[in-house]
A and B are shown apart, each in its own frame.
Chain A
């Protein structure tokens, strides 16, 4: 396929107006699968005249519409930006290959779904990477947009390509393709960047693209990879990463939003017409997590914990329901049962919505009976959701290694309560490939599952109870204590999982009551390469994309063979290969590709935690024990923000605006 830039778009900012590409697109839509995903027009979508705005963002979640449209990060930015009168934000998603082919044939550029404007005409093309597997989709979008893939080849007429999201905490593998990256919470950062661009344009854009990037870099909160040089040792390790020009800071800081009640977004969640992966409104009840699970990048990079208050949550839930008509509201966070007033929140909401066919869900995998109380409480107003517990490790020993403080007794007691409360099925999450793990650690998962079914049958007084064991492969991530760890090779991962499967299958007494779900280890190796890779991995990504790689997060489109073949070729003249990036253990002294991106975590503390892990020493949560000096709060000037507030959710008295209009 051609990777030539395929359309010339109007120079950003210079054009008075930008034509919608919908007329050209419309003729193609009857020829593709699920055309509704490309037309926009969702309830609560925003449209603005181009000329009425000065700073324009195209926001992309680089996956299919059905996955991207519910994404909270994009929805929040979309709303926060569009609330500014002179700012326009529109959304774009990855197009499937049927439409991609037609767009190339008919010269239709990557477009936004809101007003079908060409992405190349915006000031900023912001991509939110929840996972690294969206990188190839970014290249498709850039190419279709007529934006050169290599940042160095872009001119003043092209948008600033800006990466965010959790994967941006190590943006080095995509350093060649992005102009800038922002790490941490995006809402305030997006407004600051907008203000900077607004001023820059008002001054007549002095110095063009280069100067704009310079201004962004000088804030210390925007990483511009082109302004840093990476030097390597002969053996392939990084020697140092240094600013390549004066005025560029040595390290770039993450952004942390405080006082969540002041940021009640999204206020008007998008309601797509097409079916999406989450058919519900979501209310984020807190950010951050300090349980300290050592494998969990999300927990490490979002510290400290900042809660939304019980009343703030109540308002957002009601507002979302009013604005969307969704039947379900999810109370989101990394571990929702940990909110200091979750019991009052659950009771208050259940009281409010009892009898209204409104379901409340709370993603929490905490292994304790309290979780079941919450589930019971929430199911009063709507459907009863499933119960999932995540012991993560099969053996007591490995759970100490990963700092998941759950004993076998805890687990058995918890599932006993669940079965005793009428649940017939529970799900258990585990990981395979954890540091120091042996076959035995994983085989103990079978022991646990057997014990769960055995006690479950006793308390339920029946045989038809089930438990499903779900296993994910562990991928070491940057900014975690396991950032130095060797990733387990996929052959060993697969062999271990097969042994476990066989043990469960061969168990005549309990095997039939235990479901087993797992993924093979290969995609994890690619994820590992992209997570802990450095700038040299960029050429692998480009080679895979040129070879046709797209939608790597979808097992039916992912090709391990292609990734390995392209990596072999692209890295052939370098002293590094896929194993070097994935299954190799690092030493303390090694410069890691993301060391100059400051998540606030103290590298010494992370190393000590890694050593504690190897010594099977656990660490407590700083919400209920003293600060253990992970470094984030002093480094970022933040503090833990938690309740209790002592407030209550009062019954709703006002009837909705819609209901009022109906009855007069």
Chain B
């Protein structure tokens, strides 16, 4: 007898939730796969009624938006889950956050408005801490880079080395002075970069700074994604990508103030 996919009550998805989570402290060393595993377990542990794909090895329906690389911290990572029961997003946030290890923190959950999450995640804002580099040094390098129209860098991808322009997608780049966690003075770069293919990451910008101005940080920099969302090209700022979802829920509530 041939093996059939196991029969399960694969309840249909009735609600889509969008989550914003942070990757903090020592957990910045998690890879995307590590986070996927942790999240799937946390969803089970929190008892979130996930919708599953069908087949021999059913998977919970989760879609991830481009994740920050291993080693980078983030205050603004996003994903979407489908559930088989209507849930209060705030309760999901609290339950899921409690089920994840400290350092993987669920910051925000909203019910998804129509449209793709990827469409609103147009740009990222990053802070790049450069220990043992002065703000002056960093500022000079930034000026040199921003003066160029195009700077080609090379990065190792799974498919092999790839060359691409790291300057074009940079919307804003500025150097400031700051302090490391241990209180030492350091330079801090603020970067706003448009999402392109391939995505230009902070390490590509650092490569570009080295190529253009010879800036070579003596210690590995500490990178943090501060925000992701729609880009306002005028001001060069990144807005809240979940604002539209919240607004559409507010509309629904206004139209029907007593659901159920």
Q: Name A residues whose Cβ lies closer than 8 Å to a Cβ of B.
A: 22-23, 26-27, 29-31, 35-36, 38-43, 45, 271, 273-275, 279, 321-327, 355, 357, 383-384, 422, 655-656, 658-664
Could you tell me if B94 and A661 are in contact, using CB atoms closer than 8 angstroms? yes
Partner of B46, one of A321, A323, A662: A662
Which residues from chain A contact B181 at a C-beta distance below 8 Å? 23
Which residues from chain B contact A29 at a C-beta distance below 8 Å? 29, 71
Interchain nearest-CB distance for A66 vs B (Å): 12
Q: With A271-B101, A662-B48, A664-B88 as given contacts, are A40 and B94 in contact (CB-CB < 8 Å)?
A: no
Counting contact residues on chain B (CB < 8 A from A), the size range is 35 or more
Partner of B44, one of A30, A274, A327: A327
Which residues from chain B contact A322 at a C-beta distance below 8 Å? 45
State A130–B33 Cα separation when bound (angstroms).
Answer: 29
Q: When each residue 88-116 of chain B gets 1 if its CB lies under 8 Å from chain A and 0 otherwise, what string results?
A: 10011011001111110000000000000
Q: With A39-B26, A273-B27 as given contacts, are A357 and B220 in contact (CB-CB < 8 Å)?
A: no
Interchain nearest-CB distance for A184 vs B (Å): 33
Which residues from chain B contact A43 at a C-beta distance below 8 Å? 38, 41, 99-101
Interface residues of B in 31-59 (CB under 8 A from A): 31, 33-35, 37-38, 40-48, 52, 57-58
Counting from the closest, the 8 A-B pairs by CB-CB distance are A659-B47, A325-B45, A325-B41, A30-B220, A39-B26, A325-B44, A658-B46, A658-B47
Could you tell me if A36 and B29 are in contact, using CB atoms closer than 8 angstroms? yes
Q: With A355-B9, A662-B47 as given contacts, are A273 and B38 in contact (CB-CB < 8 Å)?
A: yes
State A325–B37 Cα separation when bound (angstroms).
Answer: 10
Could you tell me if B29 and A39 are in contact, using CB atoms closer than 8 angstroms? yes
18 A–B pairs (Cβ distance < 8 Å), ordered by A: A27-B220, A29-B71, A35-B70, A36-B30, A39-B29, A43-B38, A273-B27, A275-B33, A279-B37, A321-B44, A323-B45, A324-B41, A325-B42, A325-B43, A325-B45, A325-B99, A327-B40, A659-B47
Which residues from chain B contact A273 at a C-beta distance below 8 Å? 27, 30, 34-35, 37-38, 101
Q: With A40-B26, A322-B45, A383-B57 as given contacts, are A662 and B102 in contact (CB-CB < 8 Å)?
A: no
Partner of A661, one of B40, B98, B100, B101: B98
State A458–B154 Cα separation when bound (angstroms).
Answer: 59
State A303–B95 Cα separation when bound (angstroms).
Answer: 44
Which residues from chain A contact B92 at a C-beta distance below 8 Å? 662
Could you tell me if A357 and B8 are in contact, using CB atoms closer than 8 angstroms? yes
Which residues from chain B contact A39 at a C-beta distance below 8 Å? 26-27, 29
Could you tell me if B58 and A661 are in contact, using CB atoms closer than 8 angstroms? no
Interchain nearest-CB distance for A247 vs B (Å): 47
State A43–B181 Cα separation when bound (angstroms).
Answer: 25
Not counting A41-B102, A279-B37, A659-B47, a sample of 18 additional A-B residue pairs whose C-beta atoms are within 8 angstroms of each other reads A23-B182, A27-B220, A31-B220, A36-B29, A38-B29, A42-B101, A271-B101, A273-B34, A321-B44, A325-B40, A325-B41, A325-B45, A326-B44, A327-B41, A327-B44, A422-B3, A655-B47, A662-B87
Most buried by A among B37, B42, B88, B100: B37
Interchain nearest-CB distance for B39 vs A (Å): 10
Q: When each residue 172-190 of chain B gets 1 if its CB lies under 8 Å from chain A and 0 otherwise, what string results?
A: 0000000001100000000
State A326–B31 Cα separation when bound (angstroms).
Answer: 19
State A322–B45 Cα separation when bound (angstroms).
Answer: 6
State A113–B25 Cα separation when bound (angstroms).
Answer: 14
State A389–B220 Cα separation when bound (angstroms).
Answer: 51
Most buried by A among B34, B52, B87: B34
State A323–B99 Cα separation when bound (angstroms).
Answer: 9
Q: Is B156 an interface residue (CB 8 A)?
A: no
Q: Is B147 an interface residue (CB 8 A)?
A: no
State A659–B83 Cα separation when bound (angstroms).
Answer: 13
Could you tell me if B37 and A275 are in contact, using CB atoms closer than 8 angstroms? yes
Could you tell me if B52 and A36 are in contact, using CB atoms closer than 8 angstroms? no
Which residues from chain A contact B98 at a C-beta distance below 8 Å? 658, 661
Which residues from chain A contact B44 at a C-beta distance below 8 Å? 321, 325-327
Which residues from chain A contact B87 at a C-beta distance below 8 Å? 662-663
Could you tell me if B95 and A357 are in contact, using CB atoms closer than 8 angstroms? no
Which residues from chain A contact B8 at a C-beta distance below 8 Å? 355, 357
State A35–B69 Cα separation when bound (angstroms).
Answer: 13
Could you tell me if A658 and B34 are in contact, using CB atoms closer than 8 angstroms? no
Partner of B71, one of A35, A45, A324, A658: A35
Q: Is B254 an interface residue (CB 8 A)?
A: no
State A514–B3 Cα separation when bound (angstroms).
Answer: 22
State A130–B98 Cα separation when bound (angstroms).
Answer: 34
Interchain nearest-CB distance for A21 vs B (Å): 12
Residue of A nearest to B38 (CB): A273
Could you tell me if B52 and A658 are in contact, using CB atoms closer than 8 angstroms? no
Residue of B nearest to A381 (CB): B6
State A45–B92 Cα separation when bound (angstroms).
Answer: 23
Which residues from chain A contact B41 at a C-beta distance below 8 Å? 43, 271, 324-327
Which residues from chain B contact A22 at a C-beta distance below 8 Å? 26
Residue of B nearest to A24 (CB): B182
Q: Is B219 an interface residue (CB 8 A)?
A: yes
Most buried by A among B27, B44, B220: B44
Q: Is B157 an interface residue (CB 8 A)?
A: no
Interface residues of B in 110-146 (CB under 8 A from A): none
Which residues from chain A contact B71 at a C-beta distance below 8 Å? 29-30, 35
Which residues from chain A contact B42 at a C-beta distance below 8 Å? 325
State A525–B238 Cα separation when bound (angstroms).
Answer: 63
Most buried by A among B3, B9, B45, B181: B45
State A40–B101 Cα separation when bound (angstroms).
Answer: 10
Q: With A23-B182, A662-B91 as given contacts, are A36 and B43 in contact (CB-CB < 8 Å)?
A: no
State A279–B33 Cα separation when bound (angstroms).
Answer: 13
Residue of A nearest to B4 (CB): A422
Residue of A nearest to B44 (CB): A325
Q: Is B255 an interface residue (CB 8 A)?
A: no
Which residues from chain A contact B46 at a C-beta distance below 8 Å? 325, 658-659, 661-662
State A642–B34 Cα separation when bound (angstroms).
Answer: 41
Which residues from chain B contact A357 at a C-beta distance below 8 Å? 8, 52, 58
Which residues from chain B contact A326 at a C-beta distance below 8 Å? 41, 44
State A23–B91 Cα separation when bound (angstroms).
Answer: 35
Could you tell me if B45 and A658 are in contact, using CB atoms closer than 8 angstroms? yes
Which residues from chain A contact B27 at a C-beta distance below 8 Å? 39, 41, 273
State A327–B44 Cα separation when bound (angstroms).
Answer: 8
Could you tell me if A658 and B99 are in contact, using CB atoms closer than 8 angstroms? yes
Which residues from chain B contact A31 at a C-beta distance below 8 Å? 220
Which residues from chain B contact A275 at a C-beta distance below 8 Å? 33-34, 37
